[in-house]
Amino acid sequence: MKKLLVLLLTVCVSLCCSAQSISELKKKAEQGDVIAQFDLALCYYKGEGVTKDLKQAVYWYRKAAEQGDDDAQYNLAVCYYKGEGVTKDLKQAVYWYRKAAEQGDAQAQYNLAVCYDNGEGVTKDLKQAVYLYRKAAEQGDVVAQFALGKCYYNGYGVTKDLKQAVYWYRKAAEQGYVVAQFALGLCYTDDGVTKDLKQAVYWFRKAAEQGDDISKDMLSLLEEELKNEEKTKDTSEQVFEVVSEMPSFPGGTQGLANYLGQNIKYPEVCEENGVQGRVVCSFIVEKDGSISNIEVEKRVDPALDREAVRVIQNMPKWKPGNDHGKAVRVIYHLPINFRF
């Protein structure tokens, strides 16, 4: 059963133990009622409506567990794992975790994975641990999602795969798991995946808001780095109107005139209808001399406008603009006359 169902059962038991006498509950339990057995075990475990007695809790958990109740199997496994009400026995813990896990109990799958991961009560087997972490993670168990991400990150029991690590860290982080939020932020600081300081800051902030001190420190450092990066980016992406050395077409002004004269194809529809005029276009000469961001600033006719854009798109690379010895992006305005 899902974790939510366990919580609901716990609430129900609290009500049951206060509203119904323990003797009546015990009578049903002794008659083999699995729900009563589980409820009675919880009452003994929590000391609700009866003196707390962990041995009795274990006794009734076992009764319900032997009838196949996965919550009882899980709780009995926990008792064996912690040595509560029974002698600590990791092999028995593994046995009952497995029983519950086989019924799809996500918590049992996770705890059984931990046993395989650490070699507790069973031979250490990282591949089996990964298998069980995945089973629980796919059901939404946040701790299992983080554990599975960690396995992919370190290559434990599975081929190292940082994309899969980020995927599972994100699953857990989106559920508010602070350790996963920190781990995901760390990944985006160029820790094996594409560096993305905005994403790193986002997840460190999420963790910091939950009180994680290390995330607070990382957040302070990265926000400053991000500001500097944005300033650098703004400078590198700046488009200039006028620079010390303007961009030029191969062969200069005459070369540009020759290119236009040889490559412009006067649209037939415009020629037939006597349409002519000056189309003014703008474009950016990039730092490598390529052309981008072509726009028509002054239109004449759709066919003439398209032809102007086409001929600009097919231009060879220009000599880029230069500002005090540094190649820069420069906007260029080009009028193209269409005349018969």
List average pLDDT for each run of 10 residues in the chain, which is 340 residues long: 39 46 91 96 93 96 97 97 97 97 97 97 97 97 97 95 94 96 90 78 93 90 74 70 92 94 93 92 95 94 95 96 91 91
Domain match, 212 and 118 both: no
Domain match, 1 and 114 both: yes
Handedness of CA 165, 170, 175, 180 (dihedral sign): positive
CATH number of the domain residue 231 falls in:
1.25.40
Predicted pLDDT at 222: 85
Domain match, 25 and 108 both: yes
Specify the number of domains making up the chain.
3
Predicted pLDDT at 1: 40
Predicted pLDDT at 12: 44
C-alpha span between 8 and 35 (Å, rounded): 13
Structural domain for 326, as ranges: 252-338
Predicted pLDDT at 192: 60
Predicted pLDDT at 16: 47
Domain match, 231 and 157 both: yes
CATH number of the domain residue 318 falls in:
3.30.2420.10
Predicted pLDDT at 321: 94
Domain match, 225 and 257 both: no
Residue 331's H or E segment, with its range, is: strand 326-338
Structure tokens at 200: 């790193």
Predicted pLDDT at 231: 63
Predicted pLDDT at 132: 98
Domain match, 102 and 166 both: no
